[in-house]
């Protein structure tokens, strides 16, 4: 393997430095490093981050290859600056056995664009009735440590308690999609003034908040670790803040779309804005940004949810829920958190690489940009401005809410263990 010299990049947004990659490893970080024998990447004005790690990606394989495959999803990930993604379990068949998680893990290894860490289902078939074989999935080649029924809530308190107790044996974590099912029957959007005006079934904040409150108390009771997926309300932030102040081992994520978009967009009836949990209000958006800045929310995770055209190009009520997000996440975070002064780039690295790798206990990712570390790196041009064009996406699906919207920042290069997966914004 050859040497690569990244010249003059602002490492974590700080002083300009050179970073020399030799083989799979960062060989040196400093100024005036020799370019001898190395391919040079001129990075003046660009920000170098540790490769991004997504704790929440839907790759759809096996079973919904019309939406995404492991290969297309990892290509999209590389373009977005990600070097590792956690693949959600709501596939067909569900990733609830060692066999299925090993299949996803193997497909990830073959893709070469991005590491894939499978997430295992908490319950058999995501049905919420019977605990899946968590131990067997952990002991498999896939080494599963994160378990989630995402798409569905583990709403039975006894099942949730048993799952939390079970994963303690191997320092695992349960990632909860917090949605009280009875309170959200027939729900189409956030419950509030807009849903009342449009006459659409509402999805009350309490449906999310009540489950989070229960689960942090359960985690405290059994002394386990719980992760809350896609926080979307100001009230959820308050509960997580309270739980952390009590010393409960809870972590939380927010999606880029919940940091930027509100339920006002539902007035367009464009199903591209239909997502679970739903887009909320301006007040919620501002609370989520503040919580991400102050550390109450630990990470940004995409909830990349690809859907084929036929599942989105239909009336609002019939449309599938979810948005693609891998290829736009960093730009949305730059706009909402960096360009607003709420976070610096070192803070972005914590929330999009270091913390997600730590929560998932994922080795080799989320490491410092320093000599001896694996060369998993992302180079961003923060001065770039451009309209989002889904035609250029590597994802098999195009259900982005940002089509035509101008967003800042562009991933120019992504390196996975020293190999460029993206060069000048294009897949290598």
Active site residues: 303
User: For tokens 């290859």, what's the residue?
Assistant: 65
Q: How far is the CB of 425 from ligand DOR (least distance, A)?
A: 27
- Farthest-apart Cα atoms in the chain, separation: 67
Are 348 and 338 within 8 A, CB to CB? yes
Q: How far is the CB of 319 from ligand DOR (least distance, A)?
A: 11
Residue 344 marked as a ligand binder: no
Q: Write the binding mask 298 to 337 for Zn ion: x where contact by CB under 5 A, - elsewhere.
A: -----x----------------------------------
CB-nearer residue toward ligand DOR: 235 or 325: 325
Select the binding partner of residue 124 from ligand DOR, Zn ion, none (C-beta < 5 to 8 A, by kind): none
Select the binding partner of residue 10 from ligand DOR, Zn ion, none (C-beta < 5 to 8 A, by kind): none
Q: How far is the CB of 379 from ligand DOR (least distance, A)?
A: 30
Q: How far is the CB of 275 from Zn ion (least distance, A)?
A: 9
Residue 355 marked as a ligand binder: no
Note the residues at the interface with ligand DOR (CB under 6 A): 58, 90, 150-151, 177, 275-276, 305, 321-322
CB-nearer residue toward Zn ion: 183 or 371: 183
Residue 276 marked as a ligand binder: yes
Residue 190 marked as a ligand binder: no
**Could you tell me the two tokens for 297?**
């929310």
150 counts as binding Zn ion under rule CB under 5 A: yes
CB-nearer residue toward ligand DOR: 97 or 302: 302
Q: How far is the CB of 318 from ligand DOR (least distance, A)?
A: 14
177 counts as binding Zn ion under rule CB under 5 A: yes
CB-nearer residue toward Zn ion: 7 or 257: 257
Select the binding partner of residue 275 from Zn ion, ligand DOR, none (C-beta < 5 to 8 A, by kind): ligand DOR
Q: Residues touching Zn ion: how many (CB under 5 A)?
A: 4
Residue 230 marked as a ligand binder: yes
Q: How far is the CB of 57 from ligand DOR (least distance, A)?
A: 10
Residue 60 marked as a ligand binder: yes
CB-nearer residue toward ligand DOR: 276 or 378: 276
Residues belonging to the binding site for Zn(2+) are: 56, 58, 150, 177, 230, 303
Q: Residues at the annotated binding site?
A: 56, 58-60, 90, 150, 177, 230, 276, 303, 307
Annotated binding site for substrate: 58-60, 90, 276, 307
Q: What residues make contact with Zn ion under the rule CB under 5 A?
A: 150, 177, 229, 303
């Amino acid at each position: 393997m050859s040497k690569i010299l990244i010249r003059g990049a602002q490492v974590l947004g700080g002083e300009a430095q050179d970073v020399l990659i030799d083989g799979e490893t960062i060989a040196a970080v400093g100024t005036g490093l020799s370019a001898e024998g190395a391919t040079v990447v001129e990075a003046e004005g660009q920000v170098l981050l540790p490769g991004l790690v997504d704790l929440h990606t839907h790759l759809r394989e096996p079973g919904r290859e019309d939406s995404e495959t492991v290969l297309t999803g990892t290509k999209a990930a590389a373009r977005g600056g990600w070097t590792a993604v956690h693949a959600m379990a709501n596939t067909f068949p569900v990733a609830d056995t060692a066999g299925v998680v090993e299949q996803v893990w193997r497909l990830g290894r073959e893709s070469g664009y991005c590491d894939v860490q499978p997430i295992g289902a908490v319950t058999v078939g995501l049905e919420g009735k019977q605990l899946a074989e968590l131990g067997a999935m952990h002991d498999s080649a896939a080494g599963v440590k994160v378990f989630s029924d995402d798409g569905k809530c583990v709403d039975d308190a006894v099942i949730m308690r048993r799952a939390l107790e079970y994963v303690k044996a191997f320092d695992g974590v349960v990632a909860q999609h917090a949605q009280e099912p009875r309170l959200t029957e027939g729900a189409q959007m956030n419950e509030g003034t807009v849903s009342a005006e449009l006459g659409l079934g509402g999805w009350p904040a309490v449906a999310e908040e009540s489950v989070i409150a229960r689960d942090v108390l359960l985690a405290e009771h059994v002394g386990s670790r719980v992760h809350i997926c896609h926080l979307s309300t100001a009230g959820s932030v308050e509960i997580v803040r309270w739980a952390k102040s009590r010393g409960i081992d809870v972590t939380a994520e927010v999606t880029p779309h919940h940091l930027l978009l509100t339920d006002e967009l539902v007035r367009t009836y464009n199903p591209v804005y239909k997502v679970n949990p739903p887009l909320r209000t301006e007040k919620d958006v501002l609370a989520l940004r503040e919580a991400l800045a102050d550390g109450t929310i630990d990470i940004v995770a995409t909830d990349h949810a690809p859907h084929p055209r036929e599942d989105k190009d239909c009336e609002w009520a019939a449309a599938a829920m979810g948005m693609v997000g891998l290829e736009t996440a960093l730009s949305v975070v730059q706009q909402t958190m960096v360009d607003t002064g709420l976070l610096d780039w070192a803070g972005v690295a914590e929330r999009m690489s270091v913390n997600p790798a730590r929560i998932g206990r994922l080795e080799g990712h989320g490491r410092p940009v320093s000599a001896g570390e694996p060369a998993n790196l992302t180079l961003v041009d923060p001065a770039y401005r451009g309209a989002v064009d889904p035609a250029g996406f590597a994802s098999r699906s195009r259900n982005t809410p940002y089509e035509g919207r101008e967003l800042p920042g562009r991933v120019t290069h992504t390196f996975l263990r020293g190999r460029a997966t993206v060069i000048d914004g294009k897949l290598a």
